[in-house]
Amino acid sequence: MNPRSVKFRELFNNGPFVCMGAHDAVTAKLAEQAGAPAIFVSGFAASAIITGKADIGLLTQTEMFEHIRRICRVSTVPVFADADTGYGGILDVQRTMELWEEAGASCLHIEDQALPKKCGHFAGKQLITKREMQLKLRAMLQARRDPNFFIVARTDAVAVTGLEDALDRLEAYAEEGADGLYVDAPESMEQLREIGRRLKPLGKPILFNMARSGKTPFLSLNEVHELGFSFAICPIEPMFAMHKAVKEMMETFMREGCSTNAIADRITSFQDFNRFVGLEESIATERRFADAD
């Protein structure tokens, strides 16, 4: 049993909360240091970090597993990890469940896209049938070893078959036993209100995606909570912040004669970064064992 999975479920007792995106070990440590109650590991971000490619289904199950495990290893808060489509059929979905638990995650979401999947905010998505997704959820729930592990059912139907089908699908996924519900890429306040109205009576926490660059209105945690959403992910903003900051730093460095003097105000000091990654604690541990002799 993973005590962080118990902790994740307990978060729902204290009002709405955000799972902060982390795309590597450093951003996971920063998220926890900033006070994030949970971390979200995005497939979109993982695809960019691991492959340097867009989120179009290139990332493999085992690549994502290793990525999640590295992040879980350096964090103490619960980790919510994207599981895309489950990476295939029934047996693949069950293995995904086993691997995500082994990695140390406490929550995942699985989506009803057909392969090859795409980022939820890209055009050209295709869906599997509602029945096929129900069977995937059933298989995943049966493979779950820790009953506290939280499984979110996601539908991408809004952009393909419309909101009504999306809601119908999630009602069926809730009946199958999903712990939480997630409509990806709603496009208006009217759709968000209808999602809350239709799904809240099911008694399952509803997830909101706060990504600023997608199709969904930009709302605060309190605003979406008023609409019926229980928790949110801020999935890719840390990666986008990193991209902008590093891009500007490198351009300045090259433009200003390749001098670090030009970027001194943009970088963390060597000493501060070594404190952040625990150098002092590591040295103290080595000394303690050396002194024992």
pLDDT in tens, 190-202: 999 999 999 999 9
Same domain, 175 and 264: no
Q: What is the pLDDT of residue 293?
A: 64
Same domain, 252 and 194: no
Asked which of 2-6, 120-124, 130-134, 185-189 is least confident by mean pLDDT, the reply is 120-124
Q: What is the pLDDT of residue 118?
A: 73
Identify the residue with better confidence: 154 or 290.
154
Same domain, 199 and 254: no
Q: What is the pLDDT of residue 35?
A: 98
> At 52, which CATH number?
3.20.20.60
Same domain, 125 and 252: no
Percent of the chain with pLDDT over 90: 91
Same domain, 35 and 125: yes
Q: What angle do CA 74, 246, 250 make, to 5 degrees?
A: 140
Whether the predicted model's global pTM rises above the 0.75 cut:
yes
Same domain, 216 and 249: no
Domain limit, last residue, from 189, 207, 236: 236
CA–chain centroid gap for 142, Å, is: 23
Same domain, 256 and 174: no
Q: What is the mean pLDDT of residues 50-69?
A: 95
Q: What is the mean pLDDT of residues 221-241?
A: 97
Split at pLDDT 50, 70, 90, the class of 292 is confident
Q: What is the mean pLDDT of residues 246-266?
A: 97
Q: Is the pLDDT of residue 218 over 70?
A: yes
Q: Is the pLDDT of residue 53 over 70?
A: yes
Q: What is the pLDDT of residue 123?
A: 79
Q: The tokens of 223 are what?
A: 């605003």
Same domain, 151 and 247: no
Same domain, 157 and 206: yes
How big is the chain by its Cα radius of gyration, in Å?
A: 20
Q: What is the mean pLDDT of residues 242-247?
A: 98
Domain of residue 285, residue span: 242-291
Domain limit, last residue, from 220, 236, 252: 236
Q: How many structural domains is the chain composed of? A: 2
Q: What is the pLDDT of residue 1?
A: 87
Domain limit, last residue, from 236, 254, 270: 236
Same domain, 216 and 128: yes
Q: What is the pLDDT of residue 175?
A: 98
Q: Is the pLDDT of residue 51 over 90?
A: yes
Same domain, 127 and 223: yes
Split at pLDDT 50, 70, 90, the class of 254 is very high
Residue-wise pLDDT tens digits, 78-122: 999 999 999 999 999 999 999 999 999 999 999 999 988 877 677
Split at pLDDT 50, 70, 90, the class of 214 is confident
The overall average pLDDT reported for the chain is: 96
Same domain, 247 and 172: no
Q: What is the pLDDT of residue 117?
A: 85
